[in-house]
Chain A
Amino acid sequence: MSVHTDGAVTLYGLMAEFETPGELVAAARRTREAGFKKYDAYTPYPIHELDAAMDLHDNRISLFTLIGGLLGCAGGFGLASWVSAVAWPLNVGGRPLISVPMFIPVTFECTILLGGLTAAIGMLLLNGLPTPYHPVFNVERFVNASRSKFFICIESDDPKFDREMTASFLESLGAEEVAEVAA
């Protein structure tokens, strides 16, 4: 195990590679316990155990989706009512202009539409996607993050970051390889 220096001027962070998901989860937990804040794990598929290990609990998407759904619900019902009672009122034998049961299907579909769109767009925005450039891709072996390997990257703007200390910390976690990430 050795630290590769590729002569980068600025450093985004240090990246450690792991072979199995079990090693990664253990390493991620120890990274958090060591007090690091600015770090991330990269895995080829979602690993639910990481949420506990890294203490991830971002629930904002659920809230956004609820708000989007409620807006769609109100919007759908409001649209149907406004069109039927204000913009184009049709008096059919004195029946109510706002015929609630008949407006339910449109209200329901609008709820789903806005809720679903908010969930998808909210996910992209909170994840900061699209990201045209990201330093992690500067590590050659990182292409395997979308194939078969597991990575942890501790970022250089973490207050506890120190090039040598952090590198040896990552090696002590059992990393196969530790690489510097050019910014």
Chain B
Amino acid sequence: MQPVELPDKIHVGPVIDPGHSLASVSDKVAGIVLKRKITLGWVFGLLISFAVLQNLMAGATWLLIKGVGVWGINIPIGWGFAIINFVWWIGIGHAGTLISAILLLLNQSWRNAINRFAEAMTLFAVMCAGMFPVLHTGRPWLAYWLLPIPNTMAMWPQFRSPLLWDVFAVSTYLTISAVFWFVGLIPDLATLRDSAKSPVSRKIYGMLAMGWRNSARHWQRYEKASLLLAGLATPLVVSVHTVVSFDFAVSIIPGWHTTIFPPYFVAGAIYSGFAMVLTLMIPVRRFYGLDDIITLRHLNNMAKVTLATALIVAYGYTMEAFFGYFSADTYERFMIWNRMTGPYAIFYWCLILCNIITPQFLWSKKIRTSPGILWIISIIVNIGMWLERFVIVVTSLHRDFLPSSWGYYAPTIWDWAVYTGTLGLFMTLIFLFVRVLPMITIFELRMLLPSASVKEPVAQ
């Protein structure tokens, strides 16, 4: 099948600056790790992130000393920040897998410039996410009860529980994302090994590259394995957020017990993930002078995906409201009305503003290609997606079936400490990552160059 040639006006500029050659892209990306001096800005950023990370240490320590009572959770709202942040972080991770796996299967070669960074973001986000359910148990040293391990109590986990499905889904997701990421890194680690001047970095990258020698016989198996991993990661990423949504949908709480949850959660995850990729990539591309590799075309494409998923999410919100009304169920109707007008109404309307109204600006090509405005929109979307999880978790729980069991939830300083602490962890990891590993997949970048295509000389 011939690829369809789209008219020029659909694209905004090239995928990679035409001035680049095989050697120049390699040197540029490897140079960020090997040659670039450590700048004051980087040190400053890392220090701030690391300082914020200490909130997590303080929050988690106090939590372990006193128990989950230091958080704002109560009965009926047993799922406060812990679940909100867990779902938020996991969702952010999904864009990385979407970019690396689904766009690979769809042959979207523009993804080559952003997939490494997005996958790293996935890994770090899943690490932050994993923190919350474990801390939420209040006794993390017993977290191994979640796993089917033979034990002296002769007890086993409940395989019919969505919370156990979560354990399997999230740990599989973390493992496969890490494996996919590392497999993608091998050829680039070899590039770093071969370009490194200092014997120490040559040794370290050499060990990590495992003796990769760019052999054509290796590449053939490598490409096959990459495709297989992408093919497996694609249903995996959809299944992970589906399982996360099952935590809600399998229960009978009003507002949670709906079949729309899985697709609407997956779309929301990709939405927030793309917003986070934009939030991180726009400054990185500026500070590291990568405008010629992460071009306006990339920003434009990512903004389009953000807009498309925003519309799916908007459909989800509309349907939630419609189901509440159309179910003719007292509790469902009350839930949606309470969500819009009750004590948390301000959060609901802010969420509509952030997640449905704001992304409408992305219809304009001018805004999609202005990094500054795009960056602000992406931050607003991140906040909006956090509010969405807050609204879903809290409004459904605080007013359930019996007015005698109604309650109110407000986070405490320790909730905020743990949440901001994971933001610090995430940013610390990102800062370290951009210094020690190539943040752009070099070998895939080479494939984007016009000089990389095979034009065999005419036989004499």
Interface residues of A (CB under 8 A from B): 20-23, 25-26, 28, 40-51, 54, 56-59, 61-62, 65, 69, 76, 79-80, 83-84, 87-88, 90, 99, 102-103, 105-106, 108-110, 112-113, 115-117, 119-120, 122-124, 126-127, 129-134, 136-137, 143-148, 174
Check B228 against A61 for contact (C-beta < 8 Å): yes
Check A61 against B224 for contact (C-beta < 8 Å): yes
Q: Is the interface of A mostly helix, strand, loop or mixed?
A: helix
Check B233 against A116 for contact (C-beta < 8 Å): yes
1/0 per residue, CB under 8 A from A, across B32-55: the answer is 000000000000000000000000
Interface residues of B (CB under 8 A from A): 21-23, 26-27, 148, 154-160, 162, 164-165, 168-169, 172, 175-176, 179-180, 182-183, 186-187, 190-191, 193-195, 210-225, 228-229, 232-233, 235-236, 239, 243, 246, 443-444, 446-447, 451-457, 459
Check A112 against B172 for contact (C-beta < 8 Å): yes
Closest to B444 in A: A45
CB-CB under 8 A from B211, the residues of chain A are: 129-134
Rounded to whole angstroms, the CA-CA distance of A50 and B27 in the bound complex is: 25
Check B229 against A56 for contact (C-beta < 8 Å): no
Using A123-B222, A148-B21 as known contacts, say yes or no to A26 and B179 having CB atoms under 8 A apart. Answer: no
A97 CB to nearest chain B CB (Å): 10
Interface centre among B154, B156, B223, B235 (most CB of A within 10 A): B156
User: A61, A117, A127: which contacts B175 (Cβ < 8 A)?
Assistant: A117
Rounded to whole angstroms, the CA-CA distance of A147 and B22 in the bound complex is: 7
Using A47-B454, A112-B232, A119-B229 as known contacts, say yes or no to A146 and B190 having CB atoms under 8 A apart. Answer: yes
Check B456 against A119 for contact (C-beta < 8 Å): no
Closest to B169 in A: A109
Interface centre among A28, A54, A65, A90 (most CB of B within 10 A): A65
Check A119 against B159 for contact (C-beta < 8 Å): no
CB-CB under 8 A from A28, the residues of chain B are: 216
CB-CB under 8 A from B164, the residues of chain A are: 106
Closest to A57 in B: B220
Check A41 against B215 for contact (C-beta < 8 Å): yes
CB-CB under 8 A from B160, the residues of chain A are: 84, 99, 102-103
Check B159 against A42 for contact (C-beta < 8 Å): no
Closest to A113 in B: B172
A67 CB to nearest chain B CB (Å): 12
Check B232 against A119 for contact (C-beta < 8 Å): yes
Check B446 against A45 for contact (C-beta < 8 Å): yes
Check B220 against A44 for contact (C-beta < 8 Å): no
CB-CB under 8 A from A143, the residues of chain B are: 194-195
User: B172, B195, B225, B456: which contacts A22 (Cβ < 8 A)?
Assistant: B456
B54 CB to nearest chain A CB (Å): 34
A–B Cβ pairs within 8 angstroms, 9 of them? A44-B26, A99-B160, A109-B236, A109-B239, A112-B236, A112-B239, A126-B221, A137-B213, A147-B27
Rounded to whole angstroms, the CA-CA distance of A27 and B234 in the bound complex is: 38
Check B222 against A87 for contact (C-beta < 8 Å): no
Using A46-B447, A80-B159, A113-B172 as known contacts, say yes or no to A22 and B218 having CB atoms under 8 A apart. Answer: no
Check B183 against A120 for contact (C-beta < 8 Å): yes
Check A147 against B191 for contact (C-beta < 8 Å): yes
Using A61-B228, A83-B156, A147-B194 as known contacts, say yes or no to A40 and B216 having CB atoms under 8 A apart. Answer: yes
A47 CB to nearest chain B CB (Å): 6
Known: A122-B225, A146-B195. 19 other contacts (CB 8 A): A21-B452, A42-B213, A43-B214, A46-B219, A58-B217, A79-B148, A84-B159, A87-B156, A102-B159, A105-B239, A106-B159, A109-B239, A109-B243, A120-B229, A123-B222, A127-B218, A129-B218, A133-B211, A147-B195
Check A116 against B180 for contact (C-beta < 8 Å): yes
Using A20-B455, A110-B168 as known contacts, say yes or no to A116 and B179 having CB atoms under 8 A apart. Answer: yes
Check B23 against A147 for contact (C-beta < 8 Å): yes
B149 CB to nearest chain A CB (Å): 11
Rounded to whole angstroms, the CA-CA distance of A43 and B219 in the bound complex is: 9
Rounded to whole angstroms, the CA-CA distance of A88 and B183 in the bound complex is: 39
Using A122-B225, A129-B210, A148-B21 as known contacts, say yes or no to A83 and B191 having CB atoms under 8 A apart. Answer: no
